[in-house]
Structure 1
């Protein structure tokens, strides 16, 4: 009897397994048929270039674009022993001072070392003013550690120091620490303000007026946020000056298809290296007041002024000196950074923005927005504090600090002049004076054959030129088309940051290449 029950049990198990397998086969067959008939979607990637955010696809950032990517490949090839007509790649594509060999300011690195490893506060190798700065910063951090989160707007004592710095710079014009927001480099502040300003759809979409040539952060951010880029052209024939008549033309044309409500100014200029006169700044402020525009002043190169007769004037200072008619009305956000000037501390990502005449309710929204990212990097905030609270006369580090600062700025001034002089000796290259910032933006004349060959390859002519320059000489520059330029003109941007001996090599190689290129395509 037991055997009979056992056989029935086995048969039952077999029936269940066979039935299940058969059902699975039939379901798979049915699923396949339905997929073929379009009843069920085929499984694939959720995120594809067709389903991703369309605004991201519009973003372009020439400073780290295809030429730079190719330069990195070439560096790898050189390390692997691939033979090239040069021994190294000279990257003059980006304003990264330390990568170009500039040495850090001693005092800054001493304080940062102390903040990062406080046990060094007992080491007598560090000067007392460095220790005092470090103690003050650490006492303002949670747990006396630079590794703790800070308040979203930034460390309180640093914001007070920034406000005091602005008051000294602007000769007594008051600055409220509550209007100061510490940021992850100036770029973070610029993008944050643009987020607040971007609104509307169709013809009501926010239009953002930017200079052409421009720094690609602006065009990229405008594209990402879905705002409308409104171009106004700088006058190359007048040393990249800004004409109010051009601003008016640009504004009127833009009002046909969007709502231009933001005017961005970079002073000193990037990529063009011009320094705006006080009169020009007054004209811009009057224009913004008349047309009800929000002003964004990118002033990260405020210490980088080289040309005789040129001087940096902050937009805030000029605004308040123009009187209450303007200082009580015009909305302004200005930006500064640890990355440029004489500091060159790009990797710390330190910066600040000051907002003027911002609606209190909007300001509350700004504070909320920055709180979403918790806080800017604490080391960047600490470094920003050292920039605005540097060693003063009578302190142990003052003499060394001033010598290092002066040497760096003097060397940049010499290289600015050298770049202009040498480039202007090359037939087919025209370079305006580099009045400030860290770049030259020369105009190049290209033969018709080169232009046609570039177009046949689907490249902008100055991209074609810069790519050939890289492949033949190892020099990495950025084509002017990545910054914007008038139709039919061609340029490139190069930094003046390489050491003088390397800059001379770069300029002479560039001179030889341009002559050879012109001859080849004539």
Structure 2
């Protein structure tokens, strides 16, 4: 029979198998020494680009702050009773309350049974239904298209059009992202190419947000620094851009220009004239523009106004808006919502080559899609209640309360810092941070060098140990040689922020804490 013959053939074949292929488990003698295998992944064998990445906002200062919190919990005596974390722009962690309408819409999307609950307003329900109808299976738990949920991209395009006074925005140019950081990293990834002197150079402002230097290190691209003018309220000077660009051409191929407006960590808001000059420069030099505009709602100075790069680009005429490649970014994490944990964001990319658009979508497809709950939160940011809707009054009250509170704290922070000997702080025109200059005594500078650390890192560590204030040294953001700074968020409550600032102002301004701490350590 064929089946029997096949079985006998299989047995003969098995008998002919090599001995090492035996399915029997070989018994290892108990006295045979076990070889200890070396670790495959070590600092020496890991990806060197990842090892080179630094992110000061969550660096050693923050690790030490966490240790101090644990020591306080164990009852260890300190010169302070709590650690005040002013290192990161995390609004809700600092006590800011959520915008009710945003949370209502996301809650309805997450648990649609609430749509029958009469306590939820009709406008929140209508938005949730619209979002769910665009989701696979009408569920927030399904994957979306890699570029994002279609109706949300339409809402983003309408938001941009309204913001920019009617200038058109195409939903096909909108990419929903996992926060703005994900969009920035994605665009940089697709821009980087070449080797040695042809390697892509990326111009970034100094001081900068460490996301940029970290992404550049990870991609093994070339960081090209251009310095903001501290003496002129951290203004951007095109002559400085030109200097940085021409010097960089000797060792790389600079083709990307990053702008942060309003500035992080410096808080400046760029004038329209400055933006026009930057766009002209980018057009003239053949640079791809990245406009980080996540703080566009955070403008506090009466003399300043936010101008989007997209709007100015179009108003400069067809020789610019038909040719200059621009990617701009926004987020749920900042503004007045402060919804960092949802990781919602978008980028709009204009004048991208059609072939590259396909490549970008392909690259984003590898990650499947951004969190759909974050996409829903982004929808509320760009499509808030309208004046004729029932949630509008509560929404606008909450929004204005957050922004007016931030404006008050920005002014208060600037004024108190400038009363302290040894600290100089520029006006906080926008964003969520102060980046004051601190004048560190020469003996303390030398002490820091003896300890192998930057002077402002030494200062921030001493401040943390003595007062419990957690801030980030300016060396983590970049600064001109010979100057020292620190970044501090203005997000804590007014009461806590006053406490924080007063701890920088010991003994009724007679003994600046810097002098006290540094003198003690010298």
- Do residues 186 (structure 1) and 180 (structure 2) align? yes
Matches within 5 A, 1:35-434: 43-434=37-428
Tell me the secondary structure at the aligned position of residue 387 of structure 2: coil
> Which is higher, the Rg of structure 1 or of structure 2?
1
Offset at residue 187 of structure 1 (A):
0.2
Offset at residue 518 of structure 1 (A):
5.2
Could you say which residue in structure 2 is the equivalent of 1:449?
443
**Aligned-partner Cα distance in 2 for 1:367–1:103:** 36
Deviations 1:190-234 (A, max 9, x none): 000000000000000000000000000000000000000000000
Tell me the secondary structure at the aligned position of residue 330 of structure 1: coil
Offset at residue 132 of structure 1 (A):
0.7
**Aligned-partner Cα distance in 1 for 2:333–2:273:** 28
Tell me the secondary structure at the aligned position of residue 246 of structure 2: helix
**Aligned-partner Cα distance in 1 for 2:405–2:342:** 23
Offset at residue 257 of structure 1 (A):
0.4
8 A contact 2:441–2:515 mirrored in 1: no
Offset at residue 43 of structure 1 (A):
3.5
Range that drifts further, 135-144 or 358-367:
135-144
Deviations 1:449-485 (A, max 9, x none): 1111111111100000000101110000000000000
Offset at residue 515 of structure 1 (A):
4.5
CA RMSD, Structure 1 to Structure 2 (Å)? 1.6
Could you say which residue in structure 2 is the equivalent of 1:492?
486
Q: 1:208 to 1:65 in 2, by over 3 A?
A: same
Structure 2: 5+ residue runs without aligned partners? 1-26, 507-512
Tell me the secondary structure at the aligned position of residue 505 of structure 2: helix
8 A contact 2:208–2:478 mirrored in 1: yes
8 A contact 2:304–2:429 mirrored in 1: yes
Range that drifts further, 506-515 or 56-65:
506-515
Tell me the secondary structure at the aligned position of residue 223 of structure 2: strand
**Aligned-partner Cα distance in 2 for 1:362–1:433:** 41
Could you say which residue in structure 1 is the equivalent of 2:514?
514
Offset at residue 394 of structure 1 (A):
1.4
Tell me the secondary structure at the aligned position of residue 516 of structure 1: helix
8 A contact 1:447–1:521 mirrored in 2: no
Offset at residue 521 of structure 1 (A):
6.0
Offset at residue 511 of structure 1 (A):
1.9
Tell me the secondary structure at the aligned position of residue 161 of structure 1: helix
Range that drifts further, 410-419 or 139-148:
139-148
**Aligned-partner Cα distance in 2 for 1:387–1:51:** 44
Deviations 1:246-283 (A, max 9, x none): 00100011000000000000000000000000000000
TM-score between both structures, scaled by the size of structure 2 = 0.92
Deviations 1:94-147 (A, max 9, x none): 000000000000011111111111111111111111111111111111111111
Aligned residues: 489
Could you say which residue in structure 1 is the equivalent of 2:20?
none
8 A contact 2:53–2:217 mirrored in 1: yes
Offset at residue 520 of structure 1 (A):
3.6
**Aligned-partner Cα distance in 2 for 1:192–1:113:** 29
TM-score between both structures, scaled by the size of structure 1 = 0.92
**Aligned-partner Cα distance in 2 for 1:471–1:193:** 40
**Aligned-partner Cα distance in 1 for 2:28–2:514:** 71
**Aligned-partner Cα distance in 2 for 1:99–1:496:** 12
Could you say which residue in structure 1 is the equivalent of 2:19?
none
Offset at residue 309 of structure 1 (A):
1.1
